[in-house]
Structure 1
């Protein structure tokens, strides 16, 4: 675990693949929409919200070719065998976030608040994302940020 400063990535024109079509995949895609990333979601079915999003959808079960060109990969299925396969299929230059097992993740999402002149990001290193959001909300309400 790196205790250094959080790394914020510029994702414009980068390929991001989300495996899974449920609530977690939907939340990840929603958060990525404003980044300028090329977002692909792979799943046998998608939430209604995902069906409406401006993302590339591949409606089928996962296979390794789905992540060949991905820079970032989000593993969001509820099938442990599929999640394990995805983590084994990645190349060394790819980064993965396994939403079901943080020990297999290269990065974690952060709760963020962006203003013109600053960005505040809170992370619990994947331990408790809801707590990170709560801390950020408390900061926003208690200070002029």
Structure 2
């Protein structure tokens, strides 16, 4: 599959975002989304301590298709490929899905970012190597004054 990427920033204030999974990856996604003003709902049978303390909606259940019906953005963050596949299958055409376990089932990818008062720098490997994006971000932060 060939895709053409176009870097965009989405206005997520008051948009419904669903995160399926309650572990470390889900926690990082929720932490990154908090400043956006999105309505964040995390669905999982258990949650990290950090997720339990966040000002988000938590649904302590196994995933069901009804959990994402009103979501604009959906993150599949479980360690169960069957659940992640089911979420991507359950999503409808206007919904955007990021399957953290499978790049080919994702409509978008997260970027490593450096945010300053007057600018934002985003780094992406098109979803192929998120660790490399973070490494590049660290190098830029360590070697550059903004």
TM-score over 0.5 for the alignment?
Answer: yes
| 2:94 equivalent to 1:120 | no
Report the TM-score when normalising by structure 1: 0.96
Deviations 1:97-139 (A, max 9, x none): 0001010000011011111221100011111111111111211
- Deviation at residue 143 of structure 1 after TM alignment: 1.9
Q: Is the 8 A contact 2:5 2:126 kept in 1?
A: no
CA distance in structure 2 between the aligned counterparts of 1:95 and 1:125, rounded to whole angstroms: 16
Report the TM-score when normalising by structure 2: 0.95
Secondary structure of residue in 1 paired with 2:19? strand
Runs of 4+ in structure 1 off by over 6 angstroms are none
- Deviation at residue 3 of structure 1 after TM alignment: 3.9
Gaps in structure 2 of 5+ consecutive residues: none
| 2:26 equivalent to 1:25 | yes
Look up the match of 1:140.
141
CA distance in structure 2 between the aligned counterparts of 1:58 and 1:143, rounded to whole angstroms: 42
How many residues get paired? Answer: 144
Gaps in structure 1 of 5+ consecutive residues: none
- Taking only aligned residues, the RMSD between alpha carbons, in angstroms, comes to 0.9
